[in-house]
């Protein structure tokens, strides 16, 4: 499977989709999220957190680049928007090779630091409540995850 496209019609539906994904990921997995402001990247991350059993409220990491949450697995939520045009390495490898799940908003800004094997997700706003969510699995294990999600 090269890509999987899923349309959601409400915020809750996007959260549920992310909760399903949370049941399929494994320690050390890296998920990237691309999409314009307001597309739903943070909303998707909230769903992932909920699926991982994170009880704290997940907010956009505006002042810090990485926020860490405790769930069944640690969740590292990164928003690297402010690293555009910078090649600063905030120690990405440690997160990407940890036992946690890393979620990176605006991941293209840190392309050079991303592992080859990962799940890339692009969210596009079609209208006020409709979102086109496309999953691009990079590596066999993520292809399997997408096949599961498609069921």
For ligand ADP, the closer of residues 37 and 112 by Cβ is 37
| Interaction between residue 35 and ligand ADP (CB under 6 A) | yes
Q: Across the chain, how many H-helices and E-strands are there?
A: 4, 7
Q: How far apart are CA 17 and CA 123, in angstroms?
A: 12
Provide the 10 A C-beta neighbour count for residue 7.
11
Select the residue interacting with Mg ion from 11, 50, 60, 98 (CB under 5 A).
Answer: 60
Residues 83-142 within binding reach of ligand ADP (CB under 6 A) = 129, 131
Q: How far apart are CA 96 and CA 101, in angstroms?
A: 8
Residues 2-21 within binding reach of ligand ADP (CB under 6 A) = 8-11, 13-14
Residues binding ligand ADP: what is the number (CB under 6 A)? 16
For Mg ion, the closer of residues 32 and 42 by Cβ is 42
Residues 14-53 within binding reach of Mg ion (CB under 5 A) = 41-42
User: Greatest CA span in the chain, whole angstroms?
Assistant: 40
For ligand ADP, the closer of residues 9 and 144 by Cβ is 9
CA-nearest of 122, 113, 150 to 24 is 150
Q: How far apart are CA 142 and CA 119, in angstroms?
A: 6
120-to-2, 14, 64 alpha-carbon distances in Å: 11, 16, 22
**Residue 47 binds: one of Mg ion, ligand ADP, none (C-beta under 5 to 8 A by kind):** none
Q: Which residues lie near ligand ADP (CB under 6 A)?
A: 8-11, 13-14, 35, 37-43, 129, 131
Contacts with Mg ion by CB under 5 A lie at: 41-42, 60
């Amino acid at each position: 499977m090269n890509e999987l496209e899923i349309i959601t019609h409400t915020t809750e539906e996007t959260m549920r989709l992310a909760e399903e994904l949370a049941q399929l990921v494994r320690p050390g997995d890296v998920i990237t999220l691309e999409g314009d402001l307001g597309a739903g990247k943070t909303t998707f991350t909230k769903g992932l957190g909920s699926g991982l059993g994170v009880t704290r409220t997940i907010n956009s990491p505006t002042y810090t680049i990485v926020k860490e949450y405790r769930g069944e697995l640690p969740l590292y939520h990164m928003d690297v928007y402010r690293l555009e045009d910078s090649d600063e390495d905030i120690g990405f490898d440690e997160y990407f090779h940890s036992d946690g799940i890393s979620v990176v908003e605006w991941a293209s800004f840190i392309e050079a630091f991303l592992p080859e094997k990962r799940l890339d997700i692009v969210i596009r706003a079609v209208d006020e409540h409709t979102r086109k969510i496309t999953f691009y699995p990079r590596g066999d294990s993520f292809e399997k995850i997408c096949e599961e999600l498609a069921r």
